[in-house]
Chain A
């Protein structure tokens, strides 16, 4: 494993497939998808590395949480993506564990342009379909997802249409929580 290995071997089909799965996860909150294709240097998970390759390019400023901000990850991003690494206030995409991401510092968009907000890739120890209850657009009845906490996501929902969107990654599995979803403790 080095800074230069671990990219897509067949970029167009692999990126399209992974992008489709990321969209499925985001439009069906709580649904867990399995993605593959990229492997990044530790501690980057395969799912987070694949998401980065799919979502980021040289025009996508990325914030790395303290645990992920190392030479290996920086060089990997420089070779495979070329994205600038920035502080949270300027980030469009962020990668890190839940404690490493300073939620209050990310852009949540403007009332006129709610899309100018950050998407957070939260590296988790594990993802499972149990825990806090999710309801809202894209969910038939209710769904459950192992979230690190509840209050932060309730506060994020209150900002709607502004707010942050979340991907949760563990190994090669990913789930997502858009700003439109209502979260209640189980």
Chain B
């Protein structure tokens, strides 16, 4: 997963980012035409257990979507929650990434690092509570 080549990774990172942190990193944004002004709605989240399990409906979550055009390039974003400014910032950054991936990847590198650190901390905390089970040999088997 590289922010330089993978637009999906970029959009995912923007969608999960904390709105305040993203706005601070992005700084002032260029002029953008709103193709679809930010709007809030719900999407059905599907889940699947195991590789062969059929999809099931896990529940609905609130998302905000926005589409903008920056210098002729369309940028799209779907973000968690109901923060319209967040959706707009993410859409503008998506459009800017398409024009110049290297610049935006560098700009957002701290965000990616913070997310990785957060995940590792959480995984480490969970790992500390792990319980190993093992079966004792029982006498009658021998």
Contact = CB atoms under 8 A, between A and B. Distances in A.
Interface stretch (A1-9, A114-122, A125-133, A134-142): A1-9
A91 to B, nearest CB: 25
A11 B69 contact: no
A71 interface: no
Contacts, number: 18
B34 A4 contact: no
A93 B36 CA distance: 23
B55 interface: no
Interface in A99-121: none
Interface in A1-58: 4-5, 7, 9-11
Contacts of A4: 35, 67, 69, 74
A11 B39 contact: yes
Interface string A146-184: 000000000000000000000000000000000000000
A9 B37 contact: yes
B118 to A, nearest CB: 35
B39 A7 contact: no
A169 B39 CA distance: 29
Contacts of B36: 7, 79-80
A79 B76 CA distance: 11
Contacts of B67: 4, 79
B33 interface: yes
B37 A10 contact: yes
Contacts of B35: 4-5, 7, 79
Contacts of A7: 35-36
Interface of B: 33-37, 39, 67, 69, 74
Interface of A: 4-5, 7, 9-11, 79-80
Given A4-B74, A5-B35, A9-B34, 13 more contacts: A4-B35, A4-B69, A5-B33, A7-B35, A7-B36, A9-B37, A10-B37, A11-B37, A11-B39, A79-B35, A79-B36, A79-B67, A80-B36
